[in-house]
Chains A and B, each alone.
Chain A
Amino acid sequence: MTEFSNALSIAASGMRVQSSRLRHVSENIANADTPGYRRKLTGFQPDRSRDGADGVVTTGPIRLDQRALPRIHDPSHPLADAQGYYLGSNVDLVVEIADAREAQRSYEANLRVFDQIRQMSSSLNDLLRR
Chain B
Amino acid sequence: MDIRSTQAAQAYGQATRSALSPPTREAPQDQAQGAFADAVRSFTETVQRGESTAHAALSTGADPHALVTALAQTELAVETAVTVRNKVVEAYQEILRMPV
Q: Closest CB-CB distance, A7 to chain B, in whole Å?
A: 10
Contact yes or no, A125 B65, CB < 8 A = no
Least CB distance from B12 to A in Å reads 34
Which B residues form the contact surface with A (CB < 8 A)?
A: 63, 65-66, 68-69, 72-73, 75-77, 79-80, 83-84, 86-87
Q: Which residues of A contact B (CB under 8 A)?
A: 1, 4-5, 8-9, 12-13, 15-16, 19, 114, 118, 121-122, 125, 128-129
- A to B CB contacts below 8 Å, 29 in the list: A1-B76, A1-B77, A1-B80, A5-B73, A5-B76, A8-B69, A8-B72, A8-B73, A9-B69, A12-B66, A12-B68, A12-B69, A13-B65, A15-B65, A16-B63, A16-B66, A19-B65, A114-B68, A118-B72, A118-B75, A118-B76, A121-B76, A122-B76, A125-B79, A125-B80, A128-B84, A128-B87, A129-B83, A129-B86
